[in-house]
Amino acid sequence: MNTFNNLLAQLQGIVGAEQVLTEGDLTAYEQDWRKRERGKALAVVRPASTDEVAQVVKACAAAQVSLVPQGGNTGMVVGSIPDTTGTQVLLSLRRLNRVRAVDAANLTVTVEAGCVLQTLQEVCEKEGFLFPLSLAAEGSCTIGGNLATNAGGTQVVRYGNTRELCLSLEVVTAQGEVWSGLTGLRKDNTGYDLRHLFIGSEGTLGVITAATLRMYPLPASQLTAFAAVPSLEAAVQLLGLAHKYLNAGLTGFEVMGDFALSLVRKHFPQQTVPFAGLSPYCVVLENSDHESESHARAQFERLLEAALEDGCVLDAVVAENLAQARALWHIRESIPLAQAQEGLNIKHDISIAVSRIPAFVQETDALLEQHFPGVRLVNYGHLGDGNLHYNVQAPAGTDAQAFLRDQEGAINALVYAMVDRYNGSISAEHGIGSLKREKLAHHKSPVALNAMRAIKRALDPKNLMNPGRVLSIE
Ligand code: FAD
Ligand code: MLT
Ligand code: ZN
């Protein structure tokens, strides 16, 4: 008790008493976004500078108290909340949120970890640039969280994951030292590239405090189309045509199953979903053009003509203006929220070679229907990246909590066995957290797991950084 009291007093001295929260409603910090779990923090600590983060980490390390870094707490795999012991410090990075510099000639922006993604997008746009990372949680997720999870989102098909957008990092190590690596260099072959260790490490190796990220010139036009397709095979065929006709202009290609869209229609009836019930799948795709809007429209017309002729599109609309484009994207982005409103659910964020996705879905749908009659399959995602959100909702009218308790293990086992058969990944973009930790141990090669454990032990020998997440080192 004394250790904890001494530590709390030290932390108050570092960040100010009002930034060490131990009382009141801490739900926003202690409960995960999907409401799967709730933890209890020793304290929520809110530093405002890299130096304060370093001092907090040092104090916790000296007291042997573990830390859970947290940004916007929008993660999907229970990685950003404390455990239930009441002995972990929840390190909220949200006050560390400055945009430090925009370097127009270098096409880079240097930003602190707690900056909200949408804020960064807006800052870059004001300067005439695009920061292309885009996801439905962009109004609350943070750059630090995006880096720590290597977030994907809806523009990966053109710009890559967060990893590809990051040139350099500033990190507070598990010992409380500051690694200032913010060079903004595109080429730097001076040994191991430490940046790539921290990206995707989900807070288990150190605290990301700032990053230098790539920006791109703003396109002259961004056009969105929404298309009804007769099958998943047809969606893959359309993707091939989109690559051919739009080339680097293809900046988004998302697929949505009809049941996923029906949940949007049910929970957000104010939204107009085109082609309701017309086809088993719809696709939303985006063409970014650096010439002009008319050039982009002409390209889209050629693509859709070819697709209609080939039979891989049944019908399509192209947004006439920005408001319509936003409304079409909003349909896609509303699926996770509609799914959450429908009740607790099982998420499978999987990736499989694009060419094999239709066969995977056909086979796995049939097995799930056979073994778990009545389950509702909520299938949507980033088809352009081979990343499906192949989710399962309890049968209509059943108690979702009881269904998950009784069936989640068996459903996961079935789906992940199929993912293995198709040589895919059990986590494409959401990470591992604690929700998938045991599964990782079964689905990743022992050689890779041993290398990961060796890295964890080397960088965090006391196991104080987000322990129990990603992998167990015992
Ligand atoms: P948190 O949830 O706070 O943390 C996530 C993990 O990162 C935790 O392990 C935490 O400990 C660690 N962490 C956070 N900040 C730091 C830091 N500064 N240093 C070290 N570790 C840190 N994800 C996608 O990839 N693609 C999507 O399309 C997508 N869409 C989403 C849509 C919705 C509606 C929601 C709710 C979530 C979505 N997500 C998506 C998941 C989530 O938004 C991302 O994982 C996001 O990157 C998390 O950012 P965050 O700031 O909320 O991180
Ligand atoms: C998405 O693509 O919408 C997200 O990754 C969120 C989710 O899968 O729920
Ligand atoms: Zn996603």
Residue 151 Cβ inside 6 Å of ligand 1? The answer reads yes
For residue 389, the cross-strand partners are 349, 380
Q: What does the alpha-carbon distance between residue 300 and residue 53 come to, in Å, rounded to a whole number?
A: 49
Q: What does the alpha-carbon distance between residue 344 and residue 405 come to, in Å, rounded to a whole number?
A: 11
Residue type, 169: L
Residue 155 Cβ inside 6 Å of ligand 1? The answer reads no
Q: Per-residue pLDDT tens for 199-210?
A: 999 999 999 999
Residue 260 has pLDDT above 80, yes or no: yes
Residue 71 Cβ inside 6 Å of ligand 1? The answer reads yes
Q: Per-residue pLDDT tens for 194-238?
A: 999 999 999 999 999 999 999 999 999 999 999 999 999 999 999
The residue nearest atom 1 of ligand 1, judged by CA position, is 73
Least Cα distance to 351 among 377, 378, 383, 379 occurs for: 383
> What pLDDT was estimated at residue 3?
87
Q: Per-residue pLDDT tens for 240-254?
A: 999 999 999 999 999
Which ligand 2 atom is nearest residue 152's CA? 5
Measure 157 CA to ligand 3 centroid, in angstroms: 12
For residue 230, the cross-strand partners are none
Q: What does the alpha-carbon distance between residue 79 and residue 70 come to, in Å, rounded to a whole number?
A: 9
On whether the pTM is more than 0.95, the answer is yes
Between the alpha carbon of residue 346 and those of residues 257, 394, 437, the distances in Å are 16, 9, 15
Question: End-to-end distance of the chain based on CA atoms, in angstroms?
Answer: 26
> What pLDDT was estimated at residue 1?
64
Least Cα distance to 414 among 339, 346, 340 occurs for: 346
Tokens of 168: 């350099």
Q: Kind and range of the H or E element at 259?
A: helix 258-267
Q: DSSP string of 304-319?
A: HHHHHHHTS-SEEEE-
The residue nearest atom 2 of ligand 2, judged by CA position, is 381
Distant-in-sequence, close-in-space partners of 278: CB < 8 Å, separation ≥ 6? 228, 314, 315
Q: Kind and range of the H or E element at 377?
A: strand 376-382
Residue 136 Cβ inside 6 Å of ligand 1? The answer reads yes
Q: How many CB atoms lie within 10 A of CB 261?
A: 26
Report yes or no: 465 and 203 within 8 Å, Cβ to Cβ. yes
Q: How many CB atoms lie within 10 A of CB 175?
A: 15
> What pLDDT was estimated at residue 474?
75
Q: What percent of the chain has pLDDT over 90?
A: 99
> What pLDDT was estimated at residue 440?
96
Distant-in-sequence, close-in-space partners of 413: CB < 8 Å, separation ≥ 6? none
**CB crowding 407-429: b at 16 or more within 10 Å, else e:** beeebbebbbebbeebebbbbbb
> What pLDDT was estimated at residue 375?
96
Q: What percent of the chain has pLDDT over 70?
A: 100
**Cα 300-301-305 angle, rounded to 5 deg:** 120
Q: What is the mean pLDDT of the chain?
A: 97
Residue 463 region, left (φ>0) first, then alpha (ψ -120 to 50), else beta?
A: left
For residue 68, the cross-strand partners are 90
Residue corresponding to tokens 């989640």: 408
DSSP state of 291: S
Residue 389 Cβ inside 6 Å of ligand 2? The answer reads yes
Report yes or no: 255 and 280 within 8 Å, Cβ to Cβ. no
Residue 114 Cβ inside 6 Å of ligand 1? The answer reads no
Measure 429 CA to ligand 3 centroid, in angstroms: 7
Q: Per-residue pLDDT tens for 292-335?
A: 999 999 999 999 999 999 999 999 999 999 999 999 999 999 99
Phi and psi angles of residue 262, each rounded to the nearest 5 degrees, phi first? -65, -30
Q: DSSP string of 84-106?
A: TTS-EEEEE-TT---EEEEETTT
Calculate mean pLDDT across residues 397-411.
96
> What pLDDT was estimated at residue 2?
82
Q: What does the alpha-carbon distance between residue 41 and residue 52 come to, in Å, rounded to a whole number?
A: 19
Q: Per-residue pLDDT tens for 60-117?
A: 999 999 999 999 999 999 999 999 999 999 999 999 999 999 999 999 999 999 999 9
Phi and psi angles of residue 301, each rounded to the nearest 5 degrees, phi first? -60, -45
Q: At what angle do helices 357-371 and 400-421 cross, to 10 degrees?
A: 140
**Residue 268 burial (C-beta neighbours within 10 Å; 0-12, 13-18, 19+):** middle
Residue 184 Cβ inside 6 Å of ligand 2? The answer reads no
Q: What does the alpha-carbon distance between residue 393 and residue 339 come to, in Å, rounded to a whole number?
A: 8
